[in-house]
Amino acid sequence: MAYLDNIRTFVRVYELGNMSAAARDLRVSAAVASSRISQLEDHLGVRLFHRTTRTLTPTEQGQIFYSGAGKILEAVEEAEADISDITDSPRGTLYVAAPLGVGQRFIAPAVPAFKEQYPQISIRLRLSDRKLDLAAEGLDTAFFLGVPEDSNLRIRKITDCPRVLCAAPDYIDRRGAPQNSDELRTDAQDCLNLRYPGAPEFQWPLHGPNGVQRVPVTGPFETDHGEVLTQWALAGHGIVMKPVFEIAEHLATGRLEVVLPEEPPVPIQLACLYLHRRRQDPKARLFMDFMVEHIQAEMARLPL
C-alpha cells in the first residue's frame, strides 16, 4: 500500500503542479507528500520533478511515468470496484463537488443518511461555484447547474430547476420594478451577476414575447459566490437571477419578491457529472442514485 500511496501522491503533485496543494488534497502534510515523492524517486532511480524554491515541473522521466501511473491507479480502482460488486459491501472514499447552493440545500444534509446506509464509504465534499476539472482535481462526481462544456464527461440529468428574477422590497421601492427586459440592459436597473474567473460575458436567458432571448445585463456587483449574490439582493443592492430552491424561504417571507414574472428565466438543468470509465465505481453509482432520489423528492416539495 505504501508504494500505491507514493504513486497516488505523485499523480496529484503532477496534476496540481504544487506539493502543498497535493498534500492538502490528499489530507497529509507537505512533508509526508515530499517524502513519498522522494521514496518513489529512490525506487525508480530517477528524478521525477525539477524543484526550485518557487516552481515544481516534471522531468522527462516524470512525464513518462505519469502516463503509466494513471493506468496503474485506474486498474486498482477497477479491481476494488469489482470486489465491491461481488461482496455487495462498497467501501472507500468518494470525492464529490457541488455548487454552493446545491450543496448546502441538497447534498450536505443528506450525506449523514447516506453514510448511515453505507458506513464503509467516506465522503469528501467540496462546495464551490467555480468551474471544476474532474480529472485534474481527482473528483469522482460533481453536481452541476447548466450544460457542461467538456464533452469527455458523462451526464446524468436530475431535474430542471425553475428560476426567478427577484429583488428586495427596499430595492423595488427605490428603483421600481422593471417593466420589460430592456431595462435590464441599461442603468435603469442594477443586476447582480454570478461570474467566475474566465467566464464569458454573462447574459440572462429569459422567455420573451418572441421566445427565449439572451439579455446582456448590467450592474455594479458581481461575484463567484452564489450566497454572496443572495445576501446582496437581500440587502437591496439589485436584481438577482436565482434557482427557486436557493431562495424559496426568502420568497415565502417576503424578503425577496419576484420581478418581471411575465418574462421568467429559462429553467436550469441540475445534473451529476462523472468521467468516462470502462466500469463505473459502484460506490459512486450508489451515491448518485441516493442523491438523485433525494433531490427529486426535495424539489417536489418546493412551492413552485
Q: Is the dihedral of CA 117, 123, 126, 129 positive or negative?
A: negative
Specify the pLDDT at position 86.
47
pLDDT band at 131 (very low <50, low <70, confident <90, very high): confident
Closest CA to 61 of 53, 69, 52, 71: 69
Q: How far is CA 241 from the centre of its chain?
A: 19
Adjacent-strand bridge partners of 274: 154
Report, as an integer, the average pLDDT of 163-189: 93
Task: Please tell me the predicted confidence (pLDDT) of residue 151.
Answer: 62
CA distance 71 to 222: 41
Q: Identify the CA nearest to 101 among candidates 246, 210, 269, 223.
A: 246
Tell me the pLDDT tens digit for each residue of 240-262. 999 999 999 999 999 999 999 99
198 has pLDDT over 90: no
Confidence at 200, pLDDT banded by 50, 70, 90: low
Please report which confidence band the pLDDT of residue 278 belongs to, taking 50, 70 and 90 as the band edges: very low
In whole angstroms, what is the distance from residue 7 CA to residue 90 CA? 23
The predicted-structure confidence for 81-107, as pLDDT tens digits, reads as follows: 666 554 566 788 899 999 988 999 999
Rounded Cα distance, 25 and 32, in Å: 13
* Grid coordinates belonging to 101: 447552493
Q: Is the pLDDT of residue 174 over 90?
A: yes
Among 100-114, 212-226, 230-244, name the one with the lowest average pLDDT.
212-226
Output the pLDDT for position 282: 83
State the Cα–Cα distance between residues 115 and 122, nearest whole angstrom: 7
CB 104 within 8 A of CB 127: yes
pLDDT tens string 25-78: 888 898 999 999 999 999 999 999 998 777 788 999 999 999 888 888 877 777
